[in-house]
């Protein structure tokens, strides 16, 4: 009993689990009686203010606690597992095993869905995508992608993350020859490197710049070194790297970006308002010389305004834009959002994008970019566009997410004329397992 109780208390106080209001009257699971090993731990949590008590804000000693309530506490801990030490993760794993049934019924992915081999944890995702673009020679098209991720702890401070990707993106060509297999991530991260709250990542990693993820955004393929420093409400990221394209375009100077230095400063005024400022400079042929800024502001409880602005003074892209520095800005208004662990949850967003020719390279385009990264040619890899788009997301079932993207009223940024293919539709289903 003492050993089990210590596991609960260590987990709560080390990870700082947030309090949760429980609904015992709708509980479908077995109650935990006063003589259960976890009962004393819950009582301590109530006294410490970690949980909200039994309805009226107090913990009543003559009332039982439910396994449902304990499962919610464990779920909160699982959500913070990436911040845990190896010892903490071992505690979480034991609690996952104890409350596995309840966690599964809550829609939380647990150990039996995240296969572990020794110290290595494996997760995977798959995507089926349908794309239709007006007046396109390859319209409509299908694309498939499958990724396998590996994560492991080297020691109490250093961890490894790797990811393999198999992809068939026929939307970029009619021949079906765009089958791609890549090691998109293979990096080691050391926490508290030299200084406290300073993380150092070396290898192939994700590069995320800005608020809207038009820069990179989870694609991997960035090879280099990156440091992240956190101090209170502020953080500073910086690195030196090269970025590889996905071989979706003719190989040229624009597809791979070598030897770039980058930095981004972030500041969160509070949980509702944060800003950033960033800078990217390439050493190869002055491809990139980008300065930008972004913000995220919660204007209503379920509505968030997100925006980015950047300007590229690189010589190659400047020439493509009529010898003027190409600029871009995007403004997005988002309502709620789908959560793959919460079936029935959903979200939507409306967005306006105004991007000059050459305002961003193909390698830096992120997951939210649609037609922008698919309209390139050898001489002009990024045509740029002025357009509106509408996005929706819906959690169809546990770990199954449906996403839709519709872009319309697309115009040439140089002439203002409507593009021949001025409507773009993308539907995709994502599976997490």
Per run of 10 residues, the mean pLDDT along the chain (length 433 residues) is 49 42 35 53 46 41 59 68 61 67 64 56 91 74 89 91 83 52 92 93 92 74 93 95 59 60 95 95 77 95 94 77 83 92 93 84 60 42 77 94 90 80 87 91
- Omega into 324 within 30° of 0, i.e. cis? no
Residue of 263, 163, 177 lying closest to 221 (CA atoms): 163
Instruction: Please check whether residue 372 is in contact with residue 355, taking contact to mean a CB–CB distance below 8 angstroms.
Output: yes
DSSP type of residue 321: T
Q: Are the beta carbons of 424 and 407 closer than 8 angstroms?
A: yes
CA separation, residue 135 to residues 138, 280, 385, 396, 419 (Å): 9, 36, 17, 31, 10
State residue 166 phi and psi, 5-degree precision.
Answer: -115, 125
Question: Which residues partner with 309 through β-bridges?
Answer: 293, 329
Distance CA 90, CA 11 (A): 10
Domain boundaries, the chain: 2-105, 121-432
In Å, what is the CA distance from 217 to each residue of 39, 209, 243, 323?
A: 44, 7, 13, 29
> CB of 413 within 8 A of CB of 355?
yes
What pLDDT is stored for residue 172 in this prediction? 44
> How far apart are the C-alpha atoms of 269 and 274, rounded to whole Å?
6
| Dist CA 65 CA 99 (whole Å) | 14
Q: Residue 103: its pLDDT value, please?
A: 72
CA 101, 102, 106, 111 torsion-angle sign:
negative
Per the CB < 8 A criterion, the answer to whether 389 and 99 are in contact is no
Question: Are 112 and 97 a contacting pair, CB within 8 Å?
Answer: no
Question: Quick check: 102 and 66 in contact, CB under 8 A?
Answer: no
Q: Which helix (H) or strand (E) holds 11?
A: helix 2-15
Q: What is the pLDDT of residue 409?
A: 87
Q: What is the pLDDT of residue 334?
A: 95
Distance CA 373, CA 367 (A): 10
Q: How many CB atoms lie within 10 A of CB 355?
A: 23
CB 198 within 8 A of CB 228: yes
The model's pTM is 0.69
> What is the gyration radius of the CA atoms in the chain, in angstroms?
24
DSSP-assigned letter for residue 114: S
Please provide the DSSP assignment of 33-81 as one string.
-TTSTTHHHHHHHHHTTSS--SSSSS--TTS-EEHHHHHHHHHHHHHTG
Q: Which CATH class is domain 121-432?
A: mainly beta
Task: In whole angstroms, give the CA distance from residue 170 to residue 55.
Answer: 55
**Rounded Cα distance, 70 and 22, in Å:** 10
């Amino acid at each position: 009993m003492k050993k089990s109780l210590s596991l609960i208390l260590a987990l709560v106080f080390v990870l700082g689990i947030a309090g949760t209001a429980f609904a015992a009257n709708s509980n479908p699971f077995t109650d935990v009686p006063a003589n259960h090993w976890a009962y004393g731990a819950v009582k301590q949590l109530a006294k410490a203010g970690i949980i909200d008590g039994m309805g009226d804000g107090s913990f009543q000693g003559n009332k039982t606690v439910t396994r449902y309530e304990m499962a919610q506490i464990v779920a909160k801990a699982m959500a913070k597992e990436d911040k845990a030490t190896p010892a903490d993760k071992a505690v979480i794993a034991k609690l996952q095993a104890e409350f596995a049934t309840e966690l599964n019924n809550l829609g939380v992915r647990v150990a039996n869905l995240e296969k572990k081999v020794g110290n290595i944890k494996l997760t995977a995702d798959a995507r089926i995508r349908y794309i239709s673009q007006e007046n396109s020679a390859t319209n409509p098209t299908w694309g498939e992608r499958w990724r396998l991720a590996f994560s492991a702890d080297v020691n109490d401070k250093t961890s490894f993350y790797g990811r393999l990707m198999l992809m068939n993106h026929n939307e970029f060509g009619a021949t079906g020859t765009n089958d791609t297999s890549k090691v998109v991530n293979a990096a080691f991260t050391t926490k508290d490197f030299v200084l406290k709250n300073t993380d150092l990542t070396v290898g192939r990693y994700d590069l995320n710049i800005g608020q809207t993820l038009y820069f990179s955004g989870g694609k991997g393929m960035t090879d280099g070194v990156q440091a992240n420093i956190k101090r209170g409400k502020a953080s500073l990221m910086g690195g030196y790297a090269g970025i590889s394209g996905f071989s979706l375009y003719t190989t040229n100077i624009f597809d791979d970006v070598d030897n770039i230095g980058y930095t981004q400063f972030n500041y969160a005024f509070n949980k509702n308002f944060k800003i950033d400022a960033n800078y990217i400079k390439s050493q190869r042929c002055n491809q990139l010389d980008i300065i930008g800024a972004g913000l995220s502001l919660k204007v209503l409880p379920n509505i968030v305004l997100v925006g980015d602005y950047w300007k590229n003074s690189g010589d190659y892209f400047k020439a493509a834009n009529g010898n003027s520095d190409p600029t871009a800005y995007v403004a997005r208004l988002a309502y709620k959002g789908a959560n793959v662990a919460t079936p029935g949850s959903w979200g939507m967003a409306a967005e306006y994008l105004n991007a000059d020719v050459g305002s961003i390279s193909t390698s830096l385009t992120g997951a939210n970019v649609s037609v922008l990264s698919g309209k390139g040619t050898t001489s002009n890899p990024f045509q740029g566009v002025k357009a509106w788009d509408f996005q929706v997301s819906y959690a169809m079932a546990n770990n199954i997410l449906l996403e839709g993207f519709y872009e319309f009223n697309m115009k040439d940024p140089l002439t203002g004329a409507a593009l021949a293919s001025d409507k773009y539709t993308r539907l995709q289903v994502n599976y997490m397992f």
